[in-house]
């Protein structure tokens, strides 16, 4: 039997049970919608969370910390010093390396505004290699100069209160002096010489620094930090040794694809590492589990729909028993009979699948709109871009999967009735009233 | 004359609980090409069972049915379906047309399962319907046709695949005498073109009008074979 003839037979059979077809397909519509909406909720949440993770830093950056990697059987790492920096620079797929020392700055004062912020000591020259862009001004050139993150002028010094625009706030700070209050605790060396030093009050020092530049917007951490030279930070912290150790070293991979490989080598050496990419990978796995669980919940409706298809097909075969006998008498093989009924069941599945996809797409759009407006209303305009949070997201793979799955469910539901039809004794079928 | 169907020592038993019913008890019958053989006998004599076995709708318990050199008893379901598709045509007492298909659609059905192209099917089905005098009723559904017309469609469907034998089970049983005679005329006209028929009937007038030979069945056995009106 040719495909076209099969299609004609199937369509003419389905056309004579329009109401039953519509009701059965409606069951599949509900089942498909349940699965698509549930899974799209998981996908949407994943998308939103992963997008917000972009704020953790560039996809090519790996933050390396010293100490124990957490992996059983691994040794404690070597110290994060200049030797480690040089070695990391020599590793395959590593583009740049930047050691960081957090200066013990208690607070920063500009005019009458005092605020807390992270002040990082970095090799200033390496900032460009790590993609930091200067929005205003230039990089620090000496130990009296400081570079501010994008959010510092507005958020930390609260210059917006003086009705300055962001640009004006930045420009106002360039060339101005701010005062860093540094707190120095006794160093390990001093405590070793005189244990009583540990009991001494920390020494507060004030350092005047000139703002020479403002960074362009980057990740959350960078935006709210300030940057000084590595030597300045070490001096603030009272570290005078010739081989200082760093808290962290940022390693920049040549591409996002090589991050995992570099991270693996470093953790095997006992370093503790993290990167936006590995966090995203870990989250992806978690969200796959969430999607499977949500999809399984939606599948319950699909199981009911499958039973509906099986019931419809069984009834249809019972009513058409005599016709099956006629078809067999004129030469239809068991396989051909099976194919006719399986195709009918699959088409019910496809119709329901397409309907379900249309319904769930519209439902997802409406739900997103509703939830986004709810959030906007509740946050009273505090959310900068209320339309960007996606709760339900239907990717192409989910749309294709929904239709293929619905067709498969239809096909599977039709297997038993179709086999029953195919195995009917032609004589018994012909005598059926 | 060459042999179209050779039935040898054909046996059929039905088991109903602990009772075994011998429906056919060693039937031997040869049907030649171009012959019309009528099987007569009372209800339950086994004539329809013989027809169903020769048509590949039922399987014998013993013996052989040789059609064009092949023994039906040795065929599996697929080969039997293929046999029904190409070697045999059925005409039933209750017409057995598919109500949703037109007259042409019903006649095309065996050719659909045989995988013929649409244009070939349409021309063959039209020719078959024209040969039974229904060239003007091609697109009518069975419910729009009279009983006689429906049976003519059934005859056209039975001959459209050019079978070795056409099996007709009480073909005039549901028709009045005039319409029944019209169907018999169609069968005779088909036979004149060389087609072979095996017909069951309990109406002696039908058998005498249309058969070359009349086979009398009682309790699953042939008790007499006589010459019919066409001999």
Residues in chain B with CB shorter than 8 Å from the CB of A329 are: 55, 57, 84, 90, 92, 96
From the list B77, B78, B90, which residue is nearest A329 (CB)? Answer: B90
Structure tokens at B21: 């019913």
Residues B174 and B143 placed together within one structural domain of the fold: no
- Does the residue B143 lie in any domain? yes
What pLDDT band is residue B62 in, cutting at 50, 70 and 90? very high
Q: What's the pLDDT band for A271 if we cut at 50, 70, 90?
A: confident
Q: Are residues B80 and B175 in the same domain?
A: yes
Interval A95-123 mean pLDDT? 87
Name which of B90, B98, B117 is nearest A323 (Cβ-Cβ): B98
Domain limit, last residue, from B133, B162, B191: B162
Is residue B187 included in any domain, yes or no?
A: no
Provide the number of structural domains found in chain B.
2
Kindly state the helix (H) or strand (E) to which residue A65 belongs, with its residue range: strand A61-65
Residue A384: what pLDDT? 45
pLDDT reported for residue A53: 65
Of the residues B75, B106, B109, the best mutation for testing chain A's interface (the one with the most A CB atoms within 10 Å of its CB) is: B109
Q: Does the distance separating the beta carbons of A430 and B92 come in below 8 Å?
A: yes
Q: A220 pLDDT exceeds 80?
A: no
Q: List CB contacts (< 8 A) between A322 and chain B.
A: 96
Is residue A250 helix, strand or coil? strand
Within a domain: residue B189?
Answer: no
Whether residue B81 is found in the same domain as residue B19: yes
**Share of residues in chain A with pLDDT > 90 (%):** 27
Kindly report the nearest CA distance between residue B7 and chain A, in angstroms.
20
Burial B198-225 (b: 16+ CB within 10 A, else e): bbbbeeeebbbbbbbbbbbbeebbbeee
Cβ atoms A372, A402 nearer than 8 A: no
B12 & B79 share domain: yes
pLDDT at B199 over 80: yes
Confidence of residue A386 (pLDDT cuts 50, 70, 90): very low
Is the pLDDT confidence value at A318 over 60?
yes
In this model, does residue A164 exceed pLDDT 60?
A: no
CA angle A290, A296, A299 (to 5 degrees): 145
ipTM of the complex in this document: 0.92
Using alpha carbons, select from B107, B114, B211 the residue that is nearest to residue B149.
Answer: B107
Alpha-carbon distance of B124 to B108, in angstroms, equals 8
Q: Which pLDDT score is estimated for A251?
A: 92
**In-domain check, residue B191:** no
Tens of pLDDT, residues B66-111: 998 889 988 998 999 999 999 999 999 989 999 889 999 999 999 9
Span A60-83, pLDDT tens digits: 889 888 765 555 565 667 788 888
pLDDT at A75: 62
The CA-based dihedral angle spanning residues B70, B73, B78, B80, taken in that order and rounded to the nearest 10 degrees: 70
User: Which of the pair, B109 or A432, is modelled with greater confidence?
Assistant: B109
Nearest to A149 by CA among A57, A224, A56: A224
Q: Is the pLDDT of residue B196 over 70?
A: yes
Cross-chain residue pair B57–A332, CB shorter than 8 Å: no
Helix (H) or strand (E) holding B64: strand B62-67
* Residue numbers in B near A4 (CB within 8 A): 118
Percent of chain A exceeding pLDDT 70 equals 89
Claim to verify: residue B60 and residue B172 sit in the same structural domain = yes
Average pLDDT over residues A216-243: 84
Residues from chain B that touch A10, judged by Cβ atoms under 8 A, are none
Q: Are residues B208 and B155 part of one domain?
A: no
Say which CATH number the domain at B78 has. Answer: 3.40.50.300
B156 & B229 share domain = no
Residue B69 in any domain: the answer is yes
d(CA A337, CA A326): 11
Strands A145-148 and A134-137: unpaired
Q: Residues of chain B whose C-beta is under 8 A from some C-beta in A?
A: 52, 55, 57-58, 77-78, 81-82, 84-86, 90, 92, 96-98, 100-101, 109-110, 112-115, 117-118, 157, 161
| Closest in B77, B85, B117 to A331, CB measured | B85
Interface touch A331/B90, C-beta < 8 Å = no
The reply to whether B45 and B62 lie within a common domain is yes
Q: Has residue B17 got a pLDDT over 90? A: no
Which of B113, B128, B141 to mutate to test binding with chain A, by most A CBs within 10 Å of its CB?
B113
List of chain B residues whose C-beta atoms are within 8 Å of the C-beta of residue A330: 84-85, 90, 109-110, 113, 157
- Give pLDDT tens digits for B18-46: 888 899 999 999 999 999 999 999 888 99
Whole-prediction pTM: 0.69
Domain annotation covers residue B107? yes
To the nearest whole angstrom, how far is the Cα of B74 from the nearest Cα of chain A? 17
pLDDT in tens, B124-161: 999 999 999 999 999 999 999 999 999 999 999 999 99
In a domain, B186, yes or no: no
Do B175 and B80 belong together in one domain?
yes
Q: What is the pLDDT of residue A366?
A: 92
CA distance A330 to chain B (A): 5
B118 in the same domain as B13? no
Picking from B104, B135, B162, the residue at the C-terminal end of a domain is B162
Report the relative pairing of strands B221-227 and B70-71 from DSSP bridges: unpaired
Q: Does residue B59 fall inside a structural domain?
A: yes
Query: Could you read off the pLDDT of A338-363 as tens digits, one per residue?
Result: 999 999 999 999 999 999 999 999 99
- Please name the member of B81, B82, B100 whose beta carbon is closest to the beta carbon of A16: B100
Share of chain B above pLDDT 70, in %: 100
Looking at residue A55, what is its pLDDT? 54
Predicted pLDDT at A355: 95
Query: Is residue A383 scored above 60 in pLDDT?
Result: no
Q: Comparing B199 with A155, which gets the higher pLDDT?
A: B199
Nearest beta carbon to residue B58 from set A4, A336, A427: A427
Residue A326: its chain B contacts at CB < 8 A?
Answer: 96-98, 109
Question: B171 with B76, same domain?
Answer: yes
Test A327 with B117 for CB contact under 8 angstroms: no
Q: List the domain range (segments joined by +) for residue B221.
A: 1-87+167-180+199-231
Q: How much is the mean pLDDT over chain A?
A: 84
Question: Is the pLDDT assigned to residue A132 strictly greater than 50?
Answer: yes
Contact A12 B90 (CB under 8 A): no
Residue of B109, B115, B117 lying closest to A330 (CB–CB): B109
Sorting pLDDT into bands at 50, 70 and 90, what band is A382?
Answer: very low
- Which residue pairs, CB below 8 angstroms and at least 24 apart, start in A163-166? none
Residues B103 and B125 in one domain: yes
What secondary structure does DSSP assign to A110-177, as a single string?
ETTEEE--EEEEE-TTHHHHTT--EEEE----STTEEEE-TTIIIIIS-GGGGT--HHHHHHHHTT-E
Query: For position A257, what pLDDT does the model report?
Result: 82
Determine the pLDDT at residue A381. 47
Low-confidence winner among A4-8, A24-28, A275-279, B138-142 (lowest mean pLDDT): A275-279
């Amino acid at each position: 039997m040719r495909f076209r003839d099969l299609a004609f037979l199937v369509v003419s059979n389905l056309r004579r049970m329009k109401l039953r077809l519509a009701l059965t397909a409606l069951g599949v519509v509900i089942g498909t919608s349940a699965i698509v909406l549930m899974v799209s909720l998981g996908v949407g949440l994943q998308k939103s969370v992963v997008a917000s993770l972009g704020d953790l830093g560039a996809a090519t950056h790996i933050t390396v910390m010293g100490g124990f990697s957490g992996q059983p059987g691994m040794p404690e790492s070597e110290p994060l010093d200049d030797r480690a920096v040089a070695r990391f620079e020599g590793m395959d797929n590593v583009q740049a390396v930047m050691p960081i020392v957090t200066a013990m700055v208690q607070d920063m004062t500009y005019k009458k505004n005092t605020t807390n912020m992270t002040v990082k000591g970095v090799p200033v020259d390496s900032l460009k290699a790590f993609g930091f862009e200067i929005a205003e001004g230039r990089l620090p050139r000496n130990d009296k100069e400081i570079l501010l993150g994008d959010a510092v002028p507005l958020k930390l010094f609260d210059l917006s209160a003086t009705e300055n625009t962001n640009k004006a706030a930045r420009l106002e700070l360039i060339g101005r002096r701010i005062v860093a209050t540094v707190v120095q605790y006794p160093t390990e060396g001093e405590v070793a010489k005189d244990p009583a030093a540990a009991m001494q009050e920390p020494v507060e020092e004030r350092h005047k620094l000139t703002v020479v530049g403002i960074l362009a917007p980057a990740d959350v951490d960078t935006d709210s930090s300030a940057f000084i030279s590595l030597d300045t930070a070490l001096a603030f912290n009272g570290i005078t040794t010739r081989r200082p150790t760093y808290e962290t070293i940022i390693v920049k991979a040549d591409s996002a694809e090589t991050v995992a490989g570099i991270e693996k080598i470093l953790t095997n050496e006992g370093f503790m590492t993290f990167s936006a990419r590995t966090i995203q990978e870990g989250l992806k796995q978690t969200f796959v589990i969430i999607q499977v669980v949500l999809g399984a919940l939606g599948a319950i409706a699909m199981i009911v729909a499958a039973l509906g298809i099986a019931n419809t097909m069984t009834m249809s075969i019972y009513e058409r028993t005599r016709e099956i006998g006629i078809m067999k008498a004129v030469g239809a093989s068991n396989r051909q009979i099976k194919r006719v009924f399986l195709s009918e069941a699959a088409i019910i599945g496809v119709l329901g699948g397409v309907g379900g996809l249309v319904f769930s797409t519209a439902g997802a759009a409406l739900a997103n709109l509703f939830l986004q407006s709810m959030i906007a209303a509740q946050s009273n305009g505090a959310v900068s871009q209320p339309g960007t949070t996606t709760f339900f997201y239907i990717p192409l793979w989910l749309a294709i999967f929904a239709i293929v799955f619905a067709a498969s469910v239809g096909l599977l539901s039709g297997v038993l009735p179709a086999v029953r039809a195919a195995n009917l004794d032609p004589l018994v079928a012909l005598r059926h009233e | 004359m060459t042999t179209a169907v050779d039935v040898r020592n054909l046996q059929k038993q039905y088991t109903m609980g602990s009772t075994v019913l011998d429906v056919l008890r060693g039937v031997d019958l040869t049907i030649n090409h171009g012959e019309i053989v009528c099987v007569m006998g009372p209800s339950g004599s086994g004539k329809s069972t013989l027809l169903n076995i020769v048509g590949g709708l039922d399987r014998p318990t013993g013996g052989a049915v040789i059609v064009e050199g092949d023994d039906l008893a040795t065929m599996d379901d697929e080969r039997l379906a293929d046999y029904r598709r190409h070697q045999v045509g059925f005409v039933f007492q209750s017409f057995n047309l598919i109500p949703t298909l037109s007259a042409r659609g019903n006649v095309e059905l065996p050719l659909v399962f045989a995988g013929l192209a649409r244009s070939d099917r349409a021309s063959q089905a039209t020719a078959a319907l024209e040969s039974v005098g229904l060239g003007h009723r091609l697109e009518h559904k069975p419910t729009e046709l009279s009983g006689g017309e429906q049976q003519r469609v059934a005859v056209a469907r039975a001959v459209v695949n050019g079978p070795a034998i056409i099996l007709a089970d009480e073909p005039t049983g549901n028709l009045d005498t005039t319409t029944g005679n019209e169907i018999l005329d169609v069968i005779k006209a088909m036979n004149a073109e060389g087609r072979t028929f095996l017909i069951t009937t309990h109406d002696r007038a039908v058998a005498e009008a249309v058969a070359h030979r009349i086979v009398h069945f009682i309790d699953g056995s042939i008790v007499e074979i006589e010459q019919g009106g066409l001999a």
